[in-house]
Amino acid sequence: MRLDRLQLKNTLTRWRQWWHDDVVDAPFEPILHPSSQRLLWIGVFTFAGHMLFYWMWAHALPQPHENLLARLFMALTALIYLMPGLRRDPTSASSGRWFTLATWIQLPWFFTWMYGMNGGNPVWLGSFVAMVLIYYHATDWRIATLGLITGGGAGLMTSHLLGGVAHGPQQPLANLVVIGFAWSMGLMLGLSSANLRRARLINTLSTMGVMAHELRTPLATVNLMGDVLRNLSQNDVGDAKRKKFEELATRLQNLVRSMNRQIDTQISNAQLLRLPRENLPIQAAELVHEVVANYPYRSSRERDCVRVQVQQDFCFTGSRAMFAQVITNLLKNALHALASASNAPQPGDLRVDVGVHHGKGRIAVSDDGIGISHELQSRIFEPFYSTQAGAGNGLGLTFCKNVVEAAHGRISVHSEPGLGAVFMIDLPLSTTGSPARPAPTA
């Protein structure tokens, strides 16, 4: 009996893990395999297809309730796929919303409406089944499932209001079995496709982590070269040469430290979808001071522009190594934003604040850099999306979001273009560490 309870508990745990990883936390993909060319073909095929099927069902193989006005409306709706803004950036949030609306009208609403109007005859039963499979192939399986439920209900209501066939299909049970089979197959294909994309992403990230780790060997050699140069400077050489040797050795070893920090970032990114579930107590102020002190600044000016302000220390639980990388990523982005501004960074241009806000611990990283446009703020946490053209891999903020949410926290951004940005991490307080207390400013 105890073994059965243990197996049941393990099964429920696996199901909860799957529910969170694949349903709740997995990012939505309104347009699967988004590309301008794919949207072009979808738009052209949908527009021409409605005209072709109107001729087929109205003249070649007549079907009851075929309607020219309905077909023209659907053909014009297909032009949404050809909108310049949608095709220019298919991965944006607005493009996803437009695509979802157009596809909801084109597929579940229209096909259910015509299925009801024609009494579920064989032609529209086959068309409805094909629609279900197409829907799961075009969009995220969660969106497709919700769309079939809402679109199916709206389509049947429209059919009823317009006087559809009252008696319904001749074989309602057979129709229900066929539709149920198509729906289950579509759901299975959608889930397997999502798992395949997830596995490919994990493999890609793992490869990045291995490649980054392999760079440590040549970097160790470079670091030894720095030690050799520093030792040479201690020999009987002139002051001018000694100074040059020291300067070169310092530059080499600073470069090695910076590269090792980047390697740590890439290895952390490689764990993007498999983060460790550590729940150790962490003092926020201590962590922030440690990260700020050890960050590999490129110059003394960069180091001097950072200010740490601790209004009230607090304790939270999570992975210390992962949260150190989160703060490092935010510092790196803030320094990049400052470097992109026209003025040289001044003391206080980058601020890290620690405090308690509305019963939650808060770590805020703010800068006076170039800021982030309002259109991009909803996308910066998406995987592989970067505002730093050619300079970022688009995984840093995604990693931050996953780490913070794994600790039951929330990360948000507030920014005005040209006025800087503020990234806020809000975390539940923990009583396992030292009590929250005011702390000095650094």
One domain, residues 333 and 300:
yes
Domain range holding 182? 23-205
Mean pLDDT of 84-113: 90
| pLDDT for residue 70 | 92
One domain, residues 158 and 286:
no
The closest alpha carbon to 287, from 365, 197, 211, belongs to 365
pLDDT digits (tens, 9 = 90+) for 165-189: 666 788 889 999 999 999 999 999 8
One domain, residues 43 and 164:
yes
Query: Does the structure show a pLDDT above 70 at 334?
Result: yes
One domain, residues 320 and 341:
yes
* 120 vs 89: which has the higher pLDDT: 120
* 33 vs 133: which has the higher pLDDT: 133
Q: What percent of the chain has pLDDT over 90?
A: 34
The closest alpha carbon to 392, from 404, 375, 380, belongs to 380
Which of 31-45, 96-110, 130-144, 369-383 has the least mean pLDDT?
Answer: 369-383
| pLDDT for residue 438 | 47
Rounded to an integer, what distance in angstroms lies between the CA atom of residue 369 and that of residue 66? 59
Instruction: Read off the CATH number of the domain in which 313 is found.
Output: 3.30.565.10
On whether residue 249 sits in a domain, the answer given is: yes
One domain, residues 312 and 361:
yes
On whether residue 260 sits in a domain, the answer given is: yes
pLDDT digits (tens, 9 = 90+) for 296-317: 787 788 888 999 999 999 999 8
One domain, residues 264 and 320:
no
CB atoms within 10 A of CB 127: 18
Instruction: Read off the pLDDT band of 434 (50, 70, 90).
Output: low
Structure tokens at 226: 């720095």
On whether residue 377 sits in a domain, the answer given is: yes
| pLDDT for residue 441 | 47
One domain, residues 289 and 247:
no
How many separate domains does the chain show?
3
Highest mean pLDDT among 137-151, 191-205, 212-226, 418-432: 137-151
Highest mean pLDDT among 92-96, 155-159, 415-419: 155-159
Instruction: Read off the pLDDT band of 210 (50, 70, 90).
Output: low
Rounded to an integer, what distance in angstroms lies between the CA atom of residue 379 and that of residue 414? 13
CB atoms within 10 A of CB 131: 23
Query: Does the structure show a pLDDT above 80 at 49?
Result: yes
Highest mean pLDDT among 12-26, 139-153, 234-248, 386-400: 139-153
One domain, residues 300 and 394:
yes
One domain, residues 73 and 118:
yes
Query: Does the structure show a pLDDT above 80 at 274?
Result: no
| pLDDT for residue 390 | 45
Average pLDDT taken over every residue of the chain = 82
One domain, residues 173 and 230:
no
End-to-end CA distance of the chain: 58
Flag whether the pTM goes above 0.85. no
Mean pLDDT of 141-151: 94
Q: In degrees, to the nearest 5, what angle opens at C-alpha 9 toward C-alphas 8 and 15?
A: 90
One domain, residues 237 and 303:
no
On whether residue 391 sits in a domain, the answer given is: yes
Burial of 173 (0-12, 13-18, 19+ CB in 10 A): exposed
Query: Does the structure show a pLDDT above 80 at 139?
Result: yes
| pLDDT for residue 57 | 93
Residues 6+ apart with CB under 8 A from 410: 404, 425, 426
Distances (CA, A) of 437 to 310, 429, 434: 9, 12, 8
pLDDT digits (tens, 9 = 90+) for 382-420: 766 565 554 455 567 888 888 888 888 999 988 888 888
